[in-house]
Chain A
Amino acid sequence: MLADARISTLLRTTIAAIDVPPAPVQEIRAKMRREPLRPARGRYVAVAAAAAVALAIVAFPRESFGVVESMEAKIAQILHWVPPPPPPKSVTDKMVTREVSLSEAQARAGFTVVSPAGLPPDVVRQTISMAPTGVYDTQARAWRSGPPAVGFQYWRRDGRSFVLLAHRADPHEPAPSKFVYEDMGGPGKLVLIKRELFVWRNGNQTMQIAAGDAISAREIVAIRTAMHGTAVATVDTPRASRSKTDVMYKIP
């Protein structure tokens, strides 16, 4: 028990020595008036329509097979788009996310990485991560490992975070969808929230992000403008994907 007492004493000493910033009473008061933030699930079910790039995480790892079938049927009914089957382990094993520096991302991405600018002023922290994508060939109905994508994740002062996703531009890819649908439902319950998708190019980089709780459409346009990006035209047609492939990202 002597060690316990010593741990306790040392812990008190260590904690007491932490330098504390002034109490942000007004910010706390403002947060107090707000409803607690609903945790973002970050689970984009599908990019409806002519999505060359499906911003999709379509696997439902915690659901039973029956629930998955039922949810897929609902997605197909609502979006007229049938999500691909979950990728095999041989593909997901390669989709390992790594935090990288900007220079490392630029050296390894396979395209000229242009980092975001014009970010909201309350961004307090950022990370850059990279991961190989998973590519589903809709004709061959097979998954394979794809080229890496780079994610710029930013945290705002109130804890919200958003990710700008960059990948190599493909001049042959069809126009992306104007909207993505984010699943905000609980286990076994599908609640699709429509989000506007913004896509722009800088050289051979395509960057995309959906407006939502963490970042507004106006803030995204400010970023695109500050980066001198060229907006990619989107299409608002909730039809099946015209793309030959669907791409799965595992970022962040």
Chain B
Amino acid sequence: MALALDSQLIDDARCGGAALDRLIETVWPEAFRIAKTILRDRALAEDAAQEACAAIARGLPELRDSARFCSWSYKAIVRHAIAVSRRRSPMQSLETLDERGIAHDATDALDLAAALAALPVSQRAVVVLHYYAGFKSREIAAATGTSAVTVRFHLMLARRALRAALTSNDAAPAPRPEAADAR
């Protein structure tokens, strides 16, 4: 996980003040990047990241174990990204479709971004939580409000699509579909 915070900062931020500002500034880049990956739209990602950071700051006094801050924050970020995606129009603007959210030209990353873009929001959220935040299916289920079985199914479909994108780039034979193993 990329979101690593000093537990002293978390404890200090519970009291508000400058420590809370510092915590928000530390969480913000990760919140924005994850929201952007899921939503693929900068304006929506800003909305989702702002709401997630506000929810994290608001809920901080109730978080008893600072060691859980990281996973707790990821859940809040993904939950708000999904909520924002539900509020937006089902149709996407051309600007959104053209944007891949990457700032370099690595072919593999382009393929992955394109494959990610083709996934529904729910599967993108699962992919981010599993491959990026390192969540198990039960934790993802708790974060997204679905069952672990549904998560594993989404993960299997997403994995199949992402592997296909990567293997086609390698000109290798298509991968054998396999059952989800994110337990």
Q: Which residues of A contact B (CB under 8 A)?
A: 3-4, 6-8, 10-21, 23-25, 27-29, 31-32, 34, 36, 39, 97-99, 124-125, 127, 129, 153, 155, 157-159, 161, 252
* CA gap between A116 and B102 in the complex, in Å: 34
By beta carbon, the residue of chain A nearest B92 is A99
Residue from the list B87, B91, B132, B162 in contact with A127, Cβ < 8 A: B91
Once the chains are docked, how many angstroms separate the CA of A145 from the CA of B131? 48
Give CA–CA (A74, B55) in the complex, Å: 37
Residue of A nearest to B20 (CB): A29
B interface residues, Cβ below 8 angstroms from A: 2, 21, 24-25, 28-29, 32-34, 36-37, 42-44, 46-47, 50-51, 53-55, 57-58, 83-84, 87-91, 93, 101-104, 106, 108-109, 112-113, 116, 127-128, 131-132, 159, 162-163, 166-167, 175
User: Complex formed: what's the CA distance from A125 to B87 in Å?
Assistant: 12
Task: Give CA–CA (A155, B101) in the complex, Å.
Answer: 21
Apart from A21-B32, A161-B87, 8 more pairs, CB < 8 Å: A10-B112, A15-B128, A23-B29, A24-B46, A25-B21, A29-B24, A39-B87, A127-B93
A residues in contact with B102, CB < 8 Å: 14, 17-18
- Determine whether the beta carbon of B131 is less than 8 Å from that of A4: yes
CB pair B87 A11 closer than 8 Å: no
The 8 Å CB contact of A11, one of B54, B55, B127, B163, is B127
How many Å lie between the Cα of A23 and that of B91 in the bound state? 28
- In the complex, are the beta carbons of B89 and A129 less than 8 A apart? yes
The distance from the CB of B126 to the nearest CB of chain A, in whole angstroms, is 12
Smallest CB separation, B15 vs chain A (Å): 14
Q: Which residues from B are CB-within-8-Å of A31?
A: 50-51, 54
| Complex interface: chain A residues within 8 A of B131 (CB) | 4, 7-8, 11
Contact A16 B28 (CB under 8 A): no
Chain B residues with CB below 8 A from A11, complex form: 37, 112, 116, 127-128, 131-132
Residues of B within 8 A of A159 (CB): 47, 51, 84, 87
Q: A25 CA to B7 CA in the complex, in Å?
A: 20
The answer to whether A10 and B108 touch across the interface, beta carbons within 8 angstroms, is yes
**A-B residue pairs, 7 tightest by C-beta:** A99-B91, A23-B28, A31-B54, A32-B54, A20-B29, A17-B103, A18-B33
Q: In the complex, which of the residues B88, B103, B109 contacts A155, with contact meaning CB atoms closer than 8 Å?
A: B88
- Inter-chain CA distance A64–B162, complex, in Å, is 41
Q: What residue of chain B has the Cβ atom nearest to residue A252's Cβ?
A: B89
Q: Which residue of A lies closest to B104 (CB)?
A: A17
Shortest CB distance B137–A (Å)? 14
Contact A32 B128 (CB under 8 A): no
Nearest-neighbor residue (CB-CB) of A27 within chain B? B50
Shortest distance in angstroms between A3's beta carbon and chain B's nearest beta carbon? 5
- In Å, the complex CA distance between A227 and B66 comes to 53
CB–CB A28/B128 < 8 A: no
Judging by beta carbons under 8 Å apart, are A15 and B166 in contact? no
Asked if B24 and A28 make an inter-chain contact with CB atoms under 8 angstroms apart, the answer reads yes
Closest residue of A by beta carbon distance from B100: A14
Closest to B88 in A: A155
8 contacts between A and B (CB under 8 A): A7-B163, A10-B112, A14-B101, A15-B128, A24-B46, A32-B54, A125-B44, A158-B47
Which of A12, A125, A158 is B2 in contact with, Cβ under 8 Å? A12
**In the complex, are the beta carbons of A20 and B32 less than 8 A apart?**
yes
Contact A28 B104 (CB under 8 A): no
- Contact call A28/B37, Cβ cutoff below 8 A: no
**Cβ–Cβ contact B159 & A4, under 8 A:** yes
**B24 contact set on A, CB distance < 8 A:** 23, 25, 28-29
Decide if B166 touches A3 in the complex (CB within 8 Å).
yes
- A31-B50, A32-B54, A159-B84 known; A15-B34 Cβ under 8 A: yes
Query: What residue in chain B is nearest A1 (Cβ atoms)?
Result: B181
Q: Most A CB atoms within 10 A — which of B47, B163, B166?
A: B47
- Whether the Cβ atoms of B166 and A7 lie closer than 8 Å is yes
Partner of A16, one of B33, B54, B57, B88: B33
